[in-house]
Structure 1
Amino acid sequence: MAEHPAYPVGLRLSGRRVVVLGGGQVAQRRLPALIAAGADIVLVSPEATPSVEAMADAGEITWKKRPYEDGDLADAWYALIATSDVEANTAASAEAERHRVWCVRSDDADAATAWTPATGHSEGVTVAVLTTEAKGRDPRHTAAIRDAVVEGLRDGTLVAPHHRTRNPGVALVGGGPGDPDLITVRGRRLLAEADVVIADRLGPRDLLAELPPHVEVIDAAKIPYGRFMAQEAINNALIEHAKQGKSVVRLKGGDPYVFGRGMEELQALAEAGIPCTVVPGISSSISVPGAAGIPVTHRGVAHEFTVVSGHVAPDDERSLVDWPSLAKLTGTLVVLMGVDKIGKIAETLVAHGKAPDTPVALVQEGTTAAQRRVDATLATVAETVRAEDVKPPAVIVIGEVVTVGPRPAE
């Protein structure tokens, strides 16, 4: 038998009897997959780990609290032998052979009639990696191959095109603060499967270079607006490409719903009858300060943080921010899109009671190779921005948390 490779196969165990001998760590690792497969599981073991016992208490398995006895494998379709008793394992293995029950042995793979592959899952696909020969089996190497394949499928670095018809639609993907490694696994996978990508300038631009040549990449900032407002033009572009039967990704910076107009796009797609998936992203409001060594909360310093948009000045009638109330808070204030309005913002906060020496940090191009941090106070921030030529995009952090930790090396 050792001269021939194992034959890989997927077992459909739903409703079929599976016997597990031994309630230790091996069973604890293997049982969840058998339960997920819908198997009728009988555990034979005088003892079990707390996790295995919990499965029995929940009715997911039937537990016979005794050692193995001849006849336990009768009517079984599959058996997992994982006790610490070698003699019992050998006897059970012999019974499995007599009854033609496929049998896995945790203590002696060479004596088994079946091997358990290293498995992983990604979007409805099960990846199973199996060593072809018993001699020289290396479970760690097998698991490493499994991990590499699954990770590649999940993050989009391993692209497996769909050859059956895919359902067209749009995915609103939050790309995170800028570092391409900070996009979510699901976001990166959807990006790799897209036919069309409509991207913001604040999205992780480096990921666009990895897309296959057939993918159409559209810069949202360059969509011809004509008589339309910018957002309306973007909405129309999403709808038009999706109606052509294409898989469309709207790649946005940060999170789609944190000052990203994601809901406006979702509503437009819903009105047009276009299915839409929303993939959350890491917001720059917490990730950029963190990358610059600033915690937005810290024990004994700040018990809350508030995120506001600074794209309009406090005295602008369009502003929906209650700046006087914010001035009274003792926690952290994070301002997005406020570089050119920071002077007026600081002036308003001080006028309503915020101390002029309140620390301020501006983090430009956060999480990217161009990241830089500039520190000031509410009294000096306007002049500092001019002197240091701070440009958008930059996240502004106001509060004592700015001084909590050591500044990272620039």
Structure 2
Amino acid sequence: MNDILPIILPILAVLVVLGALIPVLMKTRKNVKNYPGTRDANDPVQARGAGTLVEDRPAPAPERSAPDGVGLAGPETVEVPDNAAGLETVPVETPLPVAGRLTRLRERLVKSNTILGKGLLALLSADKIDENVWDEVEETLLLADLGTEPTMQLVDALRERVKVIGTRSPEHVKALLREELIKLVDPTMDRSLNVQRHADKPAVMMVVGVNGVGKTTTVGKLARVLVAEDKDVLLGAADTFRAAAAEQLATWGQRVGVPTVKSDIEGADPASVAYEAVKAGIDQEVDVVMIDTAGRLQNKVGLMDELGKVKRVIEKLAEVDEVLLVLDATTGQNGLNQARVFAEVVNITGIVLTKLDGTAKGGIVVAIQKSLGVPVKLIGLGEGADDLAPFDAEAFVDALLN
């Protein structure tokens, strides 16, 4: 018996300890089961990062199909509201006639202190025109952003004219300068807008450019002009990146009495919005669809590729008849660099030169046309709704020299 006791006593001690621990272990298990983030094998599985149980989610919506390369943006058409009883009527704006807008722009341009006109007239009206004067003429032209090749062309032409017939008076100098500047600006370039409806499809216009040049405002002002010319217009808000860009365009649409197609999804695929706008234009048999695009720097390859995609997607439905590049005249030669890159991506057909009254460098008109062979079609000289007009070569030169 004494031999067995050393064995029995440790066993009894272990059993006593286990008996004391069992209630504690059972309580701990219960608490662990109820701790957030744990589940039983029978609990429903929660989707990672969703915050909603899978079994509680609604059934997925049926898939929508889209053309190749087009993301689904969920665009919506904002129609011009009908006049309902008790609602205030929003008058549709009518622009000034072309002649009135040209006069207004000419007056604004004359008020700007132009290096190109005043500087050249002062130099060429000197009693003696020697090499120093010609050097200053050349420098003045370069400072006015005329560009190297056009500058040399103008200086050589003026040298020859002065050498042959002399400079009899300031009025004579002004006449010579006017003739040569008009030749450089080239009034023979086709500056008409390609906005004629095709047999079964609308004309399509894209408006492109970098940030802050006034693309959306230009679209609105130009839509205003086209409506006044009895054209049915539809706007497409493909600038899906800038906050409130679509609403700004829709506001312009309401002002001029035209519908706007925009997306209700922030950051939607711009190509999809453009596609839906053109499709709506075809269905509604409008004359012109105008696509506003997001601003993008010309050195951002990804964004420029995206712009090319927008154009290609539109062309699945209709030809793009007009691609207008909006440039800020105050950017000078940088504007020329922008134009070159955009022309490579989307085949620019015309230039809209804005803020021309905010610069003394009117020579950018010549530089762009000479470099790209693309005409300046429209110019803007302010924020007013009528501060956009067709570019007129002779009127522009006259404004520079007066």
User: TM-score band (shorter)?
Assistant: under 0.3
| Higher relative contact order structure (alpha carbons within 8 Å, sequence separation ≥ 6) | 2
- TM-score norm. by structure 1 comes to 0.25
- TM-score norm. by structure 2 comes to 0.25
Larger radius of gyration: 2
